[in-house]
């Protein structure tokens, strides 16, 4: 028996932040980074909360959230005793909030009634997933955690919050969406429900991502990418991910390559590897290419996959994205020095078990060589 569920209530479209007005007489704790705390976005969010609420703000959020920041948040939670927790920001803010939420409930015995995620990037899908990623800065290892209780009760998708996202971040986070959807689609745990979400997410991303990069103020396009991100999150929350993310987690931990960019740099090589090693996976990639109008029914699977890879490459070129680690500013010598460690850790990554292929240590190093 298989199962599929979507726990999170999703508010989207114009004025979706109005959903916050329903919260009354609560101890509300907002988790965000300092940049958002100093901007109009946080003021707009807090302004939607009823005056009867007692609102607290936690701003000690940094990229690749380390264990120390989560521990600090848990300590603060013990003092504040929040009833409603709102994660406001990109993947790092939501990941930090999830880590705090999980450990605060256990270590501080806090009873949090409602956990809300308000993403300010269209990328991680974390607003609807059981996943969070915490980094150990000492070992430089990222630890993905998958726990159903980490799935937020509500996600608020307000496209107004992403119109000011810079083009580079739009590109990186958008390619993260594409990677989520594609990896969920070819996952060992994929099913009809996750496939439907993955297909729609890829269609929307192929159609709207470069437009968002070119004109970030276009609210219609931004809303479509925001929806694509959440759909991809719903897909991989059930189907999980694969090899692409297993390696990307290590590149982020070792070299601080932005997560979406690391995924994008790897995507062509991983699709090629998976398709070459597994005919059934090649068939799925080909079907995705046909559904999205990249390939025709008369094209062979090999041709369809090549066309899909070509479309991804052309998108990256359009958005002026680095296509190698060297172009992203990581010296070849550093990659070679860490290659065995990256390969070892990638093979232990929580995303790998659902990859349609499992590379050997040597094959993983060969994939890394292709992206240097």
**DSSP labels, 160-175:** GGTTTS-HHHHHHHHH
Calculate helix-pair angle for 243-255, 167-186, nearest 10 degrees. Answer: 140
Q: Pairing state of beta strands 131-136 and 141-146? A: antiparallel
pTM of structure: 0.93
pLDDT at 144 exceeding the cut of 80: no
**Whole-number percent of the chain with pLDDT over 90:** 85
- Tell me the CA end-to-end span of the chain in Å, nearest whole number: 43
Comparison of pLDDT for 316 and 62, the residue scoring more: 316
pLDDT at 5 exceeding the cut of 80: yes
Lowest mean pLDDT among 33-37, 127-131, 325-329: 33-37
- Residue 106 dihedral angles phi and psi, to the nearest 5°: -90, -50
pLDDT for res 131: 85
pLDDT for res 138: 82
Mean pLDDT of 26-48: 90
Q: What whole-number distance in Å separates Cα of residue 75 and Cα of residue 130?
A: 23
Query: How many CB atoms lie under 10 A from the CB of residue 168?
Result: 15
Calculate helix-pair angle for 361-371, 332-346, nearest 10 degrees. Answer: 140
Q: What whole-number distance in Å separates Cα of residue 315 and Cα of residue 327?
A: 16
Average of per-residue pLDDT values in the chain: 95
Percentages helix, strand, coil for the chain (3-state, rounded to 5) are 60, 10, 30
pLDDT for res 36: 86
pLDDT in tens, 277-288: 999 999 999 999
Mean pLDDT of 133-156: 86
- Residue 357 dihedral angles phi and psi, to the nearest 5°: -135, 150
What is the distance, to the nearest Å, from the Cα of residue 316 to the centroid of all Cα atoms in its chain?
18
Comparison of pLDDT for 319 and 37, the residue scoring more: 319
């Amino acid at each position: 028996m298989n199962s599929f569920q979507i726990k999170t209530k999703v508010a989207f479209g114009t004025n979706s932040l109005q959903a916050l007005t329903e919260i009354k007489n609560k101890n509300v704790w907002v988790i965000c980074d300092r940049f958002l705390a100093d901007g109009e976005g946080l003021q707009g969010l807090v302004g939607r909360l009823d005056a009867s609420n007692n609102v607290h703000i936690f701003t000690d959020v940094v990229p690749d959230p380390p264990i120390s920041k989560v521990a600090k948040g848990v300590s603060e939670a013990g003092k504040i005793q929040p009833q409603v927790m709102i994660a406001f920001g990109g993947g790092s803010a939501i990941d930090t909030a999830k880590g705090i939420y999980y450990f605060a409930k256990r270590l501080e015995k806090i009873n949090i009634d409602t956990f809300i995620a308000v993403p300010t990037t269209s990328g991680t899908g974390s607003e609807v997933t059981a996943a969070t990623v915490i980094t150990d800065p000492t070992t430089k290892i990222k630890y993905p955690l998958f726990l159903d209780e980490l799935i937020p009760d509500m996600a608020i998708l307000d496209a107004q919050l992403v119109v000011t996202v810079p083009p580079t971040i739009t590109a990186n986070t958008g390619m993260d969406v594409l990677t989520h959807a594609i990896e969920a689609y070819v996952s060992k745990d994929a099913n009809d429900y996750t496939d439907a979400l993955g297909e729609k997410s890829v269609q929307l991303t192929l159609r709207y991502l470069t437009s968002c990069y070119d004109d970030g103020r276009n609210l219609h396009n931004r809303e479509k990418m925001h929806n694509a991100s959440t759909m991809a999150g719903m897909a991989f929350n059930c189907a999980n991910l694969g090899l692409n993310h297993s390696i990307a987690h290590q590149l982020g931990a070792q070299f601080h390559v932005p997560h979406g960019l690391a995924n994008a740099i790897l995507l062509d090589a991983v699709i090629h590897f998976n398709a070459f090693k597994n005919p059934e996976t090649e068939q799925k990639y080909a079907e995705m290419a046909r559904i999205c109008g990249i390939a025709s029914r008369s094209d062979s699977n090999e041709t369809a996959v090549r066309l899909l890879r070509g479309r991804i490459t052309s998108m990256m070129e359009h958005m002026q994205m680095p296509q190698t680690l060297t172009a992203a500013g990581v010296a070849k010598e550093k990659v070679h020095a860490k290659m065995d460690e990256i390969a070892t850790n990638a093979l232990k990554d929580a995303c790998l078990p659902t990859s349609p292929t499992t590379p050997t240590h040597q094959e993983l190093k060969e994939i890394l060589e292709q992206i240097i």
